[in-house]
Amino acid sequence: MAELEISHLGKSFGAFEALKDITLTIQSGEFICLLGGSGCGKTTLLRLVAGLEDHNKGDILLGGKDLTAIPCHKRNIGMVFQSLALFPHLNVGDNIGYGLNLRGESKAVVRKEVDRLLGMIGLDGLADRQVSALSGGQRQRVAIARALALSPDIFLMDEPFSALDAALRDQMQIEVKRIQRALGVTTIFVTHDQREAMALADRIVIMQDGKIEQAGPPDVLYAQPQTRYVAEFIGTNNIFDLTFTNEGVLFGETNLGKAKGKNEGVLGTHSVAVRPEAITLTKASKTGLIGTLTTQRRLGAVIEREIDVNGQTVFQSAFAGQGDGFAEGDTVAISWGPDAAWVIPA
Amino acid sequence: MITRGQKTLLICVAILLVAPFVVVFGVSVGASKTISFPPDALSAQWYNTLFTEPDWLAAIGRSLLIAAIAALISVTIALAANYVLWRRQSGFSKLVFALGLGPFLLPPIILALGASIFWAEFGWYGRMEATIISHGVFFVTLPLVILARGFAALTEEVIEAAQMMGATQAQVFRTVILPLIAPYLITGFALVAIISVNEYLIANMISGFVVETLPIKIFNNVRYGYSPVVASASMLFVGITVTVLLVLARLTDLVSLLGASKES
Amino acid sequence: MISERAGTTAISTVTFIVLAVFFVVPLALMIIVSFYKSDPMAFYEVAFVWDNYAKFFSSFYYTVSVRSLYTAVLGAVVVVAITFPTVLAISELSRRWQLFWIILLLSLMCLSEVIIGFAWLILMSESVGLPRFLEWIGLWTNPRSLSPSFGAMLIGLVYLGFSIVALILYPQAARRDRSIEEAALTLGTPPMLVFFKVVLPAFRTSLISVTLTMFVYLLGVFVMPTMLGRPKDWTMTVIISDKALGDANLPLGAALAVIMLIVTALVLLVSVLATRRAEP
């Protein structure tokens, strides 16, 4: 296992710049999720690491060794494809043992290793099954076992669960996380599903337009987004343009009072993110931010509300039973605690 | 991603595929009375002969007439078989469909011989009508398969929506189904017409000695000493075939009509 | 509803009758005529004799049959071996160029055997085309016509089959999951081996079935052997046509065609069985 260093990596397809100056270091054994919308470059980055495409600029180093000149088939990587790409002409055992057979391992060794891997993914005894006779979840597991059979230095997954239904996807996420922990293999997982990224990653790398927006642990990304894009992309967020003055913080015409806590001393106009769950609603009073409750959705454990404040929509959520008793059309006052407001740096 | 080896392969294959016709074209525009390539001097005389000599003109006319009516027959049979199969998945309609696939699976010589015996018994041996009907029936497979794709793309909901608005069976067919499968009908018609224009063996065995179509005339010419007119007649064929296909490609999405998915 | 049912049944019945009369009845007639006696004055004389089939087992027809089978098998294998890699390469092109190839292939598929045969005849003739080109670049000092010959005929057959095989294989090649090839790479397969390790096996069933289709097709080709082959290269199709039209011996031609029909049916049966077994 070794550290993967990506520095100033660039890739163009004709005139289209798919990746622009990507720099990222991945620790040995780390689970990284590349997260972003379609066309953000996440799959391209994965394919460059795999050696399925050649990069135009920059370096990829694995344990200090330059990967540029090493073709895909010599990189010792394991990859799970979006389509899974199981070999249709081989049975389960031959799929998993494909790489070992290619290396010329003896039949007995391959068989033993295949059985061990089948045990790891919970499919004991299915070595002779045809791939087409497996369920979706079982195929997924076979693809994972095949990718891990050669003890790869890096384990790559390209949206492997996008075709599964929600319940099976949750189950596979838990499974992958367990296997990755047990093996301690450096893992890069591409997804467009932020819930999946949150559930799996040690560190999430949010990409947009061929660039890294922010990289960090899930809770840090959630609480301290560094850019407006990240603040809007992860979860639901309220983003207000607030003006900080010595007299107080201004929301349009309304003075919200002096900045306290970590925002004390901030001056000027900033984009400020406030999570819906940090917002408190009260019956309308004379002071503070006043708005009209426009929609209210009761979703079992939580209630989600939208409040119109001078034409701007404010999202608020609360656990059912806490702060009930509002009806659509009510005039309400909005407030949040001093540390709930996060000033977006960029 | 395409490799350098694959590019080389494609270029070589393309050259081999096109080369014969480059030579034929060269001969057809040459001034020389014998077959020669590359041409010493250019001349349109062989095309002139082709379009002025009554013999050649008659052959062209016969070929086009046979092709047009045969294609109409083919597409009508294919439409009927597909429509019935689509309306009702009965065993009988499946049998009719399967029967339509048959001619494609058999070597043409068997069809040709069978047809010539049949028309001899029937008393139409040597008549153009016989060639037309046999072409129409034997070439049904292609429009049958192409139309099947068209019907497969029809959703039941569209039909139900039309029925709910009060359309009768015939109205549904005319106002909904027909417009939706039109591209497939056109493609099927065009392909049968092209194949019929080009077909030699069946036409020759049914009525070749009386009804001389363009391929039969060319074949006889080649066999018993030939002049460059044959080259210009061949180029006329190439021209017709490629033009029809290019028009078809404009009107319909040929690549996906052939069953390949759309992808960049 | 009853009227609709009656309507579709009526359409079905008419379609069935048309196909039956003009496709099935001729084949049946051909089988019947194959038992008739030949009559040089008329087409045939009504009878029930096995003479025509007995003639097939003479050495002449035996040789022609073996030669026909050999030619068709060789042609089919060569066509598929050349076409498959080409189709894979086409499927990697941009959509624009793929359309170019589709139109080229469709044109070639539709073009008359007569035209294609004629074009090759010219290309391989002494005065123009290939021999003269070889002389011009100095590879052949005393060029002679390359046709008629077995090689010329085989080239003609391969050329004819190419567009058909390509159009049959193209949809599957275009739709194939390319990540299977990439998966083989990530698992350590050298690029040169990927074709043999995963692409070829994945297409095995289609390749077998298209080879059999091609075999049947080439068995029935008439123009190429007559135009580009020598009389001793002539296949069964030419002989059948010769007997039926040239010698006016319809019963013998019919008997030979029936035997060809049986061979074709057997090959198609094998093809269906092979494809069915491959699909679990």
**Does A81 touch chain C if contact means CB atoms closer than 8 Å?**
yes
Q: Report whether pLDDT(A332) > 80.
A: yes
Q: Report whether pLDDT(C2) > 60.
A: no
CB C210 within 8 A of CB C165: yes
Smallest CA-to-CA distance from A189 within A51, A81, A32, A62 is with A32
Smallest CA-to-CA distance from A251 within A228, A282, A232, A279 is with A279
Cα B13 to Cα B7, B35, C163, distances in angstroms? 10, 26, 11
Distance CA A157, CA A191 (A): 9
Spell out which residues of chain A touch residue C179, defining contact as CB-CB under 8 Å: 81-83, 85
pLDDT score recorded for residue A256 = 83
Most C-contacting residue of A81, A103, A113, A157 (CB-CB within 10 A), to test interface: A81
Residue among A74, A79, A89 whose CB faces C204 most closely:
A89
Hey, how many other C-beta atoms are within 10 angstroms of the C-beta on C63? 11
Q: Report whether pLDDT(A76) > 80.
A: yes
Q: What are C198-252's pLDDT values in tens digits?
A: 999 989 888 988 898 888 888 888 888 888 888 888 888 888 888 777 777 788 8
Taking an 8 Å cut-off on Cβ atoms, the answer to whether B99 and C92 are in contact is: no
What subunits touch chain A, counting only 3 or more CB pairs under 8 A?
C
What residue spans define the domains of chain A?
4-233, 238-343
pTM value > 0.95? no
In CATH, the number for domain A4-233 is 3.40.50.300
- Choose between C72 and B123: higher pLDDT: C72
Bond from prior residue into C148 cis (ω within 30 degrees of 0): yes
Taking an 8 Å cut-off on Cβ atoms, the answer to whether B23 and C128 are in contact is: yes
- Minimum distance, in Å, between the CA of residue C150 and any CA atom of chain B: 18
pLDDT score recorded for residue B264 = 30
- The number of C-alpha atoms within 13 Å of A17 and in the hemisphere containing its C-beta is 11
A332 CA to centre of own chain: 35
**What is the sign of the dihedral through the CA atoms of B175, B176, B177 and B183?**
positive
Spell out which residues of chain C touch residue B137, defining contact as CB-CB under 8 Å: 18-19, 22-23
Taking an 8 Å cut-off on Cβ atoms, the answer to whether B81 and C15 are in contact is: yes
Tokens of C144: 């002679």
- Going by pLDDT thresholds of 50, 70 and 90, the confidence category of residue A166 is confident
pLDDT score recorded for residue B235 = 87
DSSP secondary structure letter of residue A340: G
Taking an 8 Å cut-off on Cβ atoms, the answer to whether C182 and A52 are in contact is: yes
Taking an 8 Å cut-off on Cβ atoms, the answer to whether C185 and A150 are in contact is: no
What residue spans define the domains of chain C?
56-278
Q: What are C186-200's pLDDT values in tens digits?
A: 998 998 899 899 999
Spell out which residues of chain C touch residue B205, defining contact as CB-CB under 8 Å: 241, 244-245
Which residue type occupies A134?
L
Q: Establish whether this prediction's ipTM goes over 0.85.
A: no
Taking an 8 Å cut-off on Cβ atoms, the answer to whether A78 and C201 are in contact is: no
Taking an 8 Å cut-off on Cβ atoms, the answer to whether A89 and C201 are in contact is: yes
Tokens of A195: 């819930």
3-state secondary structure of C147: coil
Spell out which residues of chain C touch residue A85, defining contact as CB-CB under 8 Å: 177, 179-180, 182-183
The fold for domain B67-151+179-251 equals MetI-like fold (1.10.3720)
In CATH, the number for domain A238-343 is 2.40.50.140
Q: Same CATH fold, A238-343 and A4-233? A: no
Which residue type occupies A316?
Q
- Residues of chain B falling short of pLDDT 50: 261-264
The β-bridge relationship of strands A248-251 and A279-283 is unpaired
pLDDT score recorded for residue C1 = 46
CATH class entry, domain C56-278: mainly alpha
DSSP secondary structure letter of residue B260: P
Distance CA A133, CA A108 (A): 25
Smallest CA-to-CA distance from B257 within C277, C170, A128 is with C170
Taking an 8 Å cut-off on Cβ atoms, the answer to whether C185 and A52 are in contact is: yes
Tokens of A67: 């990967």
